[in-house]
Amino acid sequence: MVGEKVKFHLMMSAKDAHYVGGLVNGARIVQVWGDVGTELMVRVDGDISLFLGYEEINFTAPVYVGDFMEYHGWIEKVGNTSYKCHFEAWKVACQLDRTDADMSGVATPGTAATALVPPVLCGTGVGSLYIAKKDQRGETDPAFVHEHVSSK
């Protein structure tokens, strides 16, 4: 690993629901990894970068509205202009699946939630980002010191 991990926290809201039952589309995880990758590039070379693509994406557990997610990203390899990064999506808390009937008899969503100990791994990915040589400014965060190596 080059430098430190970037961590990003987000609660899945109703706007993230894509399927019946409040299931969140896996593409939402990938979208957030894009933001994590951008933060990594800003920290390591002072540029927002371009995302070249993913070599691998695996979804390992479902994500639902009300889940609290923690997204991790770190750089594994630095080339002349490319950065190979690993990503993880962890469910760290979730709303309990319950409804309570108020005095009118109408079911209302509960607000109870629980932390998941240990957290649940919901996805992993490997992707590459690009910063042109002319746009590289060197590390902007001392925790991300690196030396560029030749890509062959």
Looking at the whole model, is its pTM more than 0.75? yes
Topology of domain 2-99+108-144, per CATH? Thiol Ester Dehydrase; Chain A (3.10.129)
Asked if residues 99 and 109 have their Cβ atoms less than 8 Å apart, the reply is yes
- The arithmetic mean of pLDDT across residues 133-149, rounded, is 74
CB 131 within 8 A of CB 45: yes
- The residue extents of the domains of the chain are 2-99+108-144
Tell me how far apart the alpha carbons of residues 119 and 2 are, in angstroms, rounded to a whole number. 24
**Average pLDDT along the chain:** 86
pLDDT of 142 > 80? The answer is no
pLDDT category at 97 given cuts 50, 70, 90 is low
Report pLDDT for 146.
Answer: 60
The yes-or-no verdict on residue 132 having pLDDT over 80 is yes
**pLDDT for the residue numbered 144:** 73
